[in-house]
């Protein structure tokens, strides 16, 4: 049994230069010894496929921002990289790109949804070959810095993933696999490290993903916060020989340095709501004035047809009339419309993505033109 003068820290691999496969080890260290507790090379891999709705994509970004709150980010401590993938892989930033947490937070907020396929295996292979290379900022294996992947996905991969994930784990990378919605659990287990109960997670929807943050804090940094009665309202953060309390995204720490209060996000940040911004616990939602309805992007408002003089007939009620994206009623018929960033194909039902798009706000939403 551990005495109160001991605590658990991530330690070196079993053999210098020979990483233990798929496991993160822990050492017992005195409280005054900082050990290697904050040295991590962490890469997020985010599913950005078309099945992830824009609102849900924002939830994933909030989850990443919350995880960042309890990481000690600097070149000598935790380095963070981020990959998002659809039909292809997009390396948002590498382990060497940013030196400060605020820079990473800005990059996460600016991240744009890809809305394409689900090439999970390709993304993991990219992480192994590129993201965790020394040229991209990963520290040499001889330094015994744990390498961790945290992957979030909501669908079945469209490419082989089990063998690629196994090679990643065998190279010494610890993989946390997070599934959202109707994800096949066997697929998640083929990705995540063992034991699966510690590294594989499944939540019903993206709104529930935030419930995992405390679990990851415990798994990555089981130190002072684990052995003292900290009474932090939201998060307890380990510091050398002590701890501090922090709040979830959208909350501020009160004067007692332990409890948290809701922050007025509509007032303090650029929310991008076109008409009305409404605060919710830890976040906000956009709403529209009477006579408008919220667009699919969750930000803009479009006019409802109650403004027109003709009787409203919902021609789009029957299977969306085969429109790939949106079906829009007119006085005596309907037409198909694409989401921003897409243009209607000649069949007037399906949509294709534009490589370069200019948008013009109009009464009915957006019009896209190829440049």
Q: What is the CA radius of gyration of the chain?
A: 23
Best CATH choice for the domain 6-222 from the list 2.60.120.10, 3.90.76.10, 3.40.50.410, 3.30.70.2740: 3.40.50.410
Residues β-bridged to residue 335 = 328
Q: What pLDDT does 218 receive?
A: 63
Q: How far apart are CA 317 and CA 263, in angstroms?
A: 40
**Residue 237 buriedness (CB in 10 A; 0-12 / 13-18 / 19+):** buried
What is the reported pLDDT for 227?
Answer: 54
Give the class (CATH, top level) of 320-371. Answer: mainly beta
**Hunting for tokens 């709705």 — which residue is that?**
53
Residue 189 contacts by C-beta under 8 Å, 6 or more apart in sequence? 177, 196, 200
- Position 4 scores a pLDDT of 35
- Positive or negative, the CA dihedral 107, 134, 36, 220 is positive
pTM of this structure: 0.54
Instruction: Dump the DSSP string for 204-235.
Output: SSGGGGGGGHHHHHHHH--SHHHHS----SSE
Which of these CATH numbers, 3.40.50.10190, 2.10.25.10, 3.40.50.2300, 3.40.50.620, describes 264-303?
A: 2.10.25.10
Spell out the domain ranges in the chain. Answer: 6-222, 264-303, 320-371
What are φ and ψ of residue 184, in 5° steps?
Answer: -70, 120
Mark the ranges of the chain whose per-residue pLDDT is less than 50: 1-37, 306-311, 356-371
- Give rounded-to-5 percent helix, strand, coil for the chain: 25, 30, 45
Same CATH fold, 320-371 and 264-303? yes
How many helices (H) and strands (E) the chain has is answered by 9, 22
The per-residue pLDDT for range 265-284, each reduced to its tens digit, is 777 666 778 788 888 776 78
**pLDDT tens figures, 136-154:** 999 998 888 889 999 999 8
């Amino acid at each position: 049994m551990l005495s109160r003068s001991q605590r658990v820290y991530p330690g070196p691999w079993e053999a210098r230069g020979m990483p233990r496969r798929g496991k993160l080890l822990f050492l017992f260290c005195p409280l005054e010894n900082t050990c290697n507790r904050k040295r991590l090379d962490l890469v997020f891999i985010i599913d950005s496929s078309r099945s992830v709705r824009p609102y849900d994509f924002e939830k994933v970004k909030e989850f990443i921002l919350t995880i960042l709150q309890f990481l000690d980010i600097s070149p000598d401590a935790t380095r963070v990289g981020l990959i998002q993938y659809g039909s292809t892989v997009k390396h948002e930033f590498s382990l060497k790109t940013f030196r400060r947490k605020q820079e990473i937070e800005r990059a996460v907020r600016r991240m744009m949804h890809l809305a394409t396929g689900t090439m999970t295996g390709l993304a993991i292979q990219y992480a192994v070959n590129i993201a965790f290379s020394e040229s991209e900022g990963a520290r040499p294996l001889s330094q015994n810095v744990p390498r961790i992947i945290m992957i979030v996905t909501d669908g079945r991969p469209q490419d082989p993933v089990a063998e690629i994930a196994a090679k990643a784990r065998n190279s010494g990378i610890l993989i946390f696999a997070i599934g959202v919605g109707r994800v096949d659990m066997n697929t998640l287990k083929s990705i995540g490290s063992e034991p699966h109960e510690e590294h594989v997670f499944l939540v019903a929807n993206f709104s529930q993903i935030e419930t995992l943050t405390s679990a990851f804090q415990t798994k990555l940094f089981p130190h002072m916060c684990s052995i003292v009665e900290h009474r932090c309202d939201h998060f307890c953060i380990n510091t050398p020989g002590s701890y501090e309390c922090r709040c979830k995204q959208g909350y501020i720490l009160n004067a007692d340095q332990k409890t948290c209060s809701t922050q007025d996000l509509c007032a303090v940040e650029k929310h991008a709501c076109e008409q009305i911004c409404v605060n919710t616990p830890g976040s906000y939602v956009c709403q529209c004035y009477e006579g408008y309805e919220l667009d699919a992007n969750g930000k803009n408002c479009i006019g409802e047809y109650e403004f027109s003089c003709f009787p409203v007939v919902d021609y789009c009620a029957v299977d969306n009339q085969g429109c790939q994206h949106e079906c829009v009623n007119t006085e005596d018929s309907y037409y198909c419309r694409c989401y921003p960033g897409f243009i209607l194909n000649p069949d007037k039902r399906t949509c294709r993505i534009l490589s370069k798009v200019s948008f013009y706000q109009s009464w009915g939403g957006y019009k896209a033109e190829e440049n």
